[in-house]
Structure 1
Amino acid sequence: MKTFLVLTLAIAAVSAGTIKQKTIHPKDQTSKIEGRITNGYPAYEGKAPYTVGLGFSSNGAGWWCGGSIIASDWVLTAAHCTNNGERVIVYYGATWRTDAQFTHTVSGSDFIQSPDWPNVNGNDIALIRTPHVDFYSMVNKVELPSFNDRYNMYAGWWAVACGWGGIYDGSPQPDWLQCVDLQIISNEQCSQTYGTQPEAILCVATPDGKSTCSGDSGGPLVLQDDAKLVGVTSWVSGNGCQSGDPSGFTRVTSHLEWIRDNTGIAYY
């Protein structure tokens, strides 16, 4: 496996001298999918029509990420996915990764990264302007939280993350879309593992090795009860995806104004 770790965050120490765990961005730099939703379940066709596969390329290198359709001409993903990309193939409506309903190729000039990434933790977010797509059962948008929900931390809520890859560490690498149900935890609880986390980070518990992992970067975390996009897959524990340590997402509610200002998309 050749995994490109874009950024390793500094190891933080608490006052007692205990070393906190480090985190890594799980982007795959390879022509083949090497990542996984670990210990999830196969998605049925049409389960997550807002999920897209993103095949990035630059200077002969390639890497894979996920993303979310948030409008007929916009995809939301992670900044560490778009960073240094010259172009991307967007795979729409795929359950089997490369068997998309259709694809679009988009130039890097249509990538918009958060201006605070990577200097500020919690700003691993980017937009991709795409050609217009029509929505139907296999290809559809996911709604953002409303501005009324921008202070909701969602601790204790259940959400679903989806992406492509194997189902456990060391497994063969199927291309079928996998999903996993994850419970959001408080930032205070997450900080016990990684040191103080800002409000713009959203963490989930990963019991029984259920987690996002390499190749899932940029993909969606969507509330089960409210069907709103609340997280963008950003990082996992440096101990491994199945370590049981929390996984981190960019908190979408922290970026609603930035998304609105760049796309005009907002819910009130």
Structure 2
Amino acid sequence: MFKAISRRSMALATLMALGLALITTATAAAGVNHAAIIGGRDATETYSFMASFRLSEVPNHHCGGALIAADWVVTAAHCKGLMKPGETRVRIGSLDRDKGGVVARVKRIVTHPDWSGRDSDGERKGDLELIQLDRRVNLAPIRIADAPGRVGDPSRVIGWGMTCESMARCENGSEKLQELDTVRVPDNRCVDLNSGTELCTSDSAGRAASACHGDSGGPQIRKVAGRWELIGATSRDGDDVDERMGGGAGCSTNPDGGPGVGVWTDVTHYRSWITRTIGERAPAEPRS
């Protein structure tokens, strides 16, 4: 998984103790600094639905999300360990992760029932989580698309994650929201992807550019009839499996050092579950 950002190694240990499914960034590309996200740019417009999560115990931004209703945000299930009702703050609608926008707190957490990190077959499924806010916010949510689009269709990912492959230099991410133009690519480009529930995505220009640690849960969006609609939630690296991480490939590169791919949970696939859950206002899961 792309993991949460923190300033201290102690905080990273805390994340692991909380049970997040994490993937460590390889650093063979150390010394090569990429523009943010990795390879992106400062946001060129305001995204009223963009959310940043941070927990008081680990006070820095750690995951992104998308406002899909006045009091509901969708994010990645592997961010669950840092979601605590009454404690985790959510900043929405700002280009700056540290100020502006509207701030609320997490009230309720609903994780997709398929999520277990890895199932008995070693597959990751249902990396999706719904967060109910402690109040309704007066910001425009993003509509969930009817479908994710076809292979070759353009999309965009946004977030405040790492801006280069080196954890030592870039773990703090970017203060300014970053955007990266992407494209959906064939499922077989990604390792261990679940076709039909996940999206394999690469940089639209074919460069070594992608989301990275700290971008988890953030939105993948595409233009439909001139407006942005939500199709994905940032999940994990698409071509580096655990046993390859010693080989040096990071978020934006593949094991051979070439341009890499990433996996996004297909939010459109889970649209009925999301609609049903929000309508039922499901009870909160027990606090950890």
Normalised by the size of structure 1, how large is the TM-score?
Answer: 0.75
Q: Which amino acid aligns with 1:67?
A: G
Quote the Cα distance in structure 2 between the aligned partners of 1:258 and 1:174: 33
> Deviation string for 1:219-261 (max 9, x for gaps)?
0000134521110000014331121221001011221111011
SS in 2 for 1:7: coil
Name the % identity. Answer: 27
Quote the Cα distance in structure 1 between the aligned partners of 2:267 and 2:199: 9
1:44 is displaced (CA, Å) by: 3.6
Q: Is the 8 A contact 1:43 1:177 kept in 2?
A: yes
**How many equivalent pairs are there?**
225
> Deviation string for 1:121-175 (max 9, x for gaps)?
231000011111112xxxx2111023xx3xx552111111111145333456431
Q: Which amino acid aligns with 2:74?
A: L
Where do residues 150-189 of structure 1 align in structure 2 (5 Å cutoff)?
154-170=150-166, 173-189=173-189
Q: Are 1:43 and 2:46 an aligned pair?
A: no
Q: Which residue of 2 aligns with 1:258?
A: 273
Quote the Cα distance in structure 1 between the aligned partners of 2:272 and 2:83: 25
Q: Which amino acid aligns with 2:69?
A: A
Q: Is the 8 A contact 2:144 2:230 kept in 1?
A: yes
Quote the Cα distance in structure 1 between the aligned partners of 2:198 and 2:67: 21
Where do residues 62-141 of structure 1 align in structure 2 (5 Å cutoff)?
64-83=62-81, 85-86=83-84, 87-107=87-107, 110-118=108-116, 119=119, 121-130=124-133, 131-135=135-139, 140-141=140-141
Q: Which residue of 2 aligns with 1:233?
A: 234
Quote the Cα distance in structure 1 between the aligned partners of 2:55 and 2:218: 14
5+ residue gaps, structure 2, are: 1-6, 26-35, 241-248, 254-258, 281-288
Q: Which has the higher strand share?
A: 1
Q: Is the 8 A contact 1:92 1:102 kept in 2?
A: yes
1:54 is displaced (CA, Å) by: 0.8
Q: Which residue of 2 aligns with 1:16?
A: none
* 1:181 to 1:240, Cα distance in 2 relative to 1, 3 A: same
Q: Cα RMSD between the aligned structures?
A: 2.5
Q: Which amino acid aligns with 2:250?
A: G
SS in 2 for 1:212: coil
SS in 1 for 2:194: coil
* 1:61 to 1:196, Cα distance in 2 relative to 1, 3 A: closer
1:196 is displaced (CA, Å) by: 5.5
1:208 is displaced (CA, Å) by: 1.8
Q: Are 1:202 and 2:205 an aligned pair?
A: no
Where do residues 52-71 of structure 1 align in structure 2 (5 Å cutoff)?
52-56=51-55, 60-61=57-58, 64-71=62-69
SS in 2 for 1:49: coil
Larger mean Cα displacement after TM superposition, 212-221 or 198-207: 198-207
Q: Which amino acid aligns with 1:83?
A: G
* 1:215 to 1:84, Cα distance in 2 relative to 1, 3 A: closer
Quote the Cα distance in structure 2 between the aligned partners of 1:126 and 1:37: 23
Q: Is the 8 A contact 2:102 2:137 kept in 1?
A: no
> Deviation string for 1:170-215 (max 9, x for gaps)?
456431110000111121333xxx1463321111024322100000
SS in 1 for 2:53: strand
Q: Which residue of 2 aligns with 1:11?
A: none
